[in-house]
Amino acid sequence: MNKVFLIGNLTKNPELNNTGSGIPVCKFTLAVSRRFSNGDGVRETDFLPVIVWRAQAEHCNKYLKKGSKAAVCGSIQTRSYDAPDGSRRYITEIVADEVQFLSTKAEDSAESNDGVFDDLKAVDENLPF
């Protein structure tokens, strides 16, 4: 069985391209923190390349941006190619079957309200409710 579930943040804006036959493909890198701290007490982060195809690729490009939080469900795939120097290179990436947007461009821009609520007064902390 080859199944992976990840939750993390995009390290940069997604890149949308089309294959030679016109199929949309979106690539982004997801920063995922490990569950446990290392010997120095630091939680390390893995930076995992994610590939998304077709309509989901277009949605990722439209709604995600650098810093967006996303959940990815998919499989791990390894491929290889010959580099210009003649060496064989290997790439391991996540091929996403599903991407859930846990924060989006719209939510991120809503958080920066451009001063719309600046004139509201603070609520009295002594209120009983």
Q: 107-128, pLDDT tens digit by residue?
A: 655 555 554 445 555 555 555 5
- Give me the pLDDT at residue 117, please: 47
Name which residue leads in pLDDT, 103 or 64.
Answer: 64
Q: CA-to-CA distance for 13 and 16, rounded, in angstroms? A: 10
Which of 19-23, 32-36, 50-54, 73-77 shows the lowest per-residue confidence on average (mean pLDDT)?
32-36
41-50 residue pLDDT tens:
999 999 999 9
Grouping H, G, I as helix, E, B as strand and the rest as coil, residue 30 is strand
pTM, 2 dp:
0.78
Q: CA-to-CA distance for 93 and 30, rounded, in angstroms? A: 11
Domains annotated on the chain, with CATH: 4-35+43-111 (2.40.50.140)
